[in-house]
A and B are shown apart, each in its own frame.
Chain A
Amino acid sequence: MFPRIPMLSYDVVVVGGGPAGMAAAVKAKELGLSVLLLDENDYLGGILPQCIHPGFGLHYYREELTGPEFAARLAKRLVEVGVEYRTAARVIEIKNYSDREKVVVFTSPSGAYGIWAKAVIYAAGARERHAFEIGIVGDRVSGIYTAGEAQTLMDIYGIMPGREIVIVGSGDVGLIMARRFALEGAKVKAVVELMPYPGGLARNVMILRDFNIPLYLGHKVMEVRGRGRVERVKVVKVDENLKEIPGSEFWIEADTLVISAGLVPSVKKLKRIGVEIDPATGGPVVNEKLETSVPGIFVAGNSLVINDLVDYVAEQGELAARSAKEFIDGGGTESRRWVKVEKGENVRLVVPHYLSGDRDVYLYLRVSRPMEDVEVRIPEVGKKLRLPVVKPAEMVRVKLRAEEIRKEGKKLTVEVIRA
């Protein structure tokens, strides 16, 4: 049944050495578990080392750091507490041998190994949507990059991807890349945004003003043409149903098209062992311990839900580690009556999906539409949280105390409505 490869044994295997994985590994070690952290890159940090802009750690370290600085702090802590880790190590399979025994098979330059683990914390991050997924047609030429790929080329490998850039998506990643391109001397011809409002935080939307970059709201890129390389890009206006308005097409000359159309959790390996996925988040259905539907498998970070603040990601990693400890110490898997968290008005997604009332919980949610002067409400327990503004791009975190959860037996509906 098992391949004849060297077998290792740890309490917890952490899949992914980005902020979620590192925070989880540190916490797990602090709690006295034996931990092995695996990351497929040659360096730890996940996506952080290429996010060279500030905005990381305001809550977690009470300092505003750049991505690589945040990663370095966590990595330092990792080394301080003595977490074992391997880089250039790619997990190729997770086997759910039983509730309390998992086998994680990974490959690395020194070969393939199997690990017996009592619990797995899955923190493998997310991937980006590509041009085909968003329906762009035309020529399949050089110069079409996802924002992350362009960022890797520039800010890890020191390669200038192009000179005249059109960016699809006005979320934070797209705007941040717009600034990177403009700073390094490229001409950003346009940011094209499907929605009638920009997707990113105000501090990033400001980038458009700083660099005189035209923003086309309510538009999309339909087509790319070019021989060998992008030469021009066709943009069209859309109506309130996001349908193309015939006759409104126009071309922009550019040699680079950067797609910043959102992230998708990377959870194929979990799907393969039957982990239930929430179609709204693209990530696993979890209880308040961030445990998936397969006992002993915990998830944190962008694999769970696409986050915007690395501080929440690290928090999720720590929670997963505490949950793994509880699980390994004999907790979990008893049957209990879980309270289901349902999405109410204007809530596009919310995690975790199941609560017990045994502990305080953070709910992480995103709204479907921007709104001002709202209340986040949970009517079954009378919870009301007033917020001045909510946007789909900004995850909302709501604390629920154990007593509040216990007020209700079956379900809790989270809704966001005008105050």
Chain B
Amino acid sequence: MTTYRFTCIVCPLGCSIEVDVEKGRVKDVKGCTCPRGAEWAVQEVTNPQRIVMSVVPVDNGALPTVSVKTEKPVSKDRIPELMEFLAELRLEAPVNIGDTVAEWEGVKIVATRGA
């Protein structure tokens, strides 16, 4: 059995959490003081997810790049693939905040800065 220890990030309390995992299944979650935290802790251990932000080059804009983010969190272990995908993008002005500039595995890549 493995015990994962980490700090919860759901709220500023930062509870110290312990999650026991045996044969790939969560056996116990200790240290949380709220249900949101417990839910996040399980997710963290079974399929950690992150919002990813980066910049993409853009032509003919006021600045050479546009900042982007994934519209929803993606699996942490697939982030390198997503970054490879983003490395191939090149945009053309105009781009508006909120525009979907690309899509990856069903996840929209959204501009957070205009060009």
Contact = CB atoms under 8 A, between A and B. Distances in A.
A371 interface: no
Contacts of A183: 52, 54, 79, 83
B97 A52 contact: no
A389 B55 contact: no
Interface stretch (A201-209, A221-229, A289-297): A201-209
A69 B97 contact: yes
A54 B51 contact: yes
A61 interface: no
Interface in A145-193: 154-158, 183-185
Nearest to B10: A203
B83 A155 contact: no
Interface in A120-163: 154-158
B93 interface: no
A111 interface: no
Interface in B26-41: none
Contacts of A388: 13
A66 B71 CA distance: 12
Contacts of B68: 52
Interface string B48-72: 1011111101000011110111000
- Chain A contact patch, size range: 20 to 34
A154 B55 contact: yes
B6 to A, nearest CB: 7
Given A68-B67, A155-B55, A202 B112 contact: no
Contacts of B55: 52, 154-155, 158
A156 B65 contact: yes
Interface string A62-95: 0000101100100000000000000000000000
B109 interface: no
Interface string B79-90: 100010000000
Contacts of A52: 53-55, 67-69, 112-113
Nearest to B52: A183
Contacts of B24: none
Contacts of A185: 83
Given A68-B67, A185-B83, A394-B12, 19 more contacts: A42-B62, A52-B54, A52-B69, A52-B113, A54-B51, A54-B69, A66-B67, A72-B113, A154-B55, A155-B67, A156-B63, A156-B64, A183-B79, A183-B83, A203-B9, A205-B7, A206-B6, A210-B48, A389-B14
Interface of A: 42-43, 49, 52-54, 66, 68-69, 72, 154-158, 183-185, 201-203, 205-206, 209-210, 388-389, 394
16 contacts: A42-B62, A43-B62, A52-B53, A52-B55, A52-B68, A52-B112, A54-B51, A54-B69, A66-B67, A68-B97, A155-B65, A156-B65, A158-B55, A183-B52, A202-B7, A203-B9
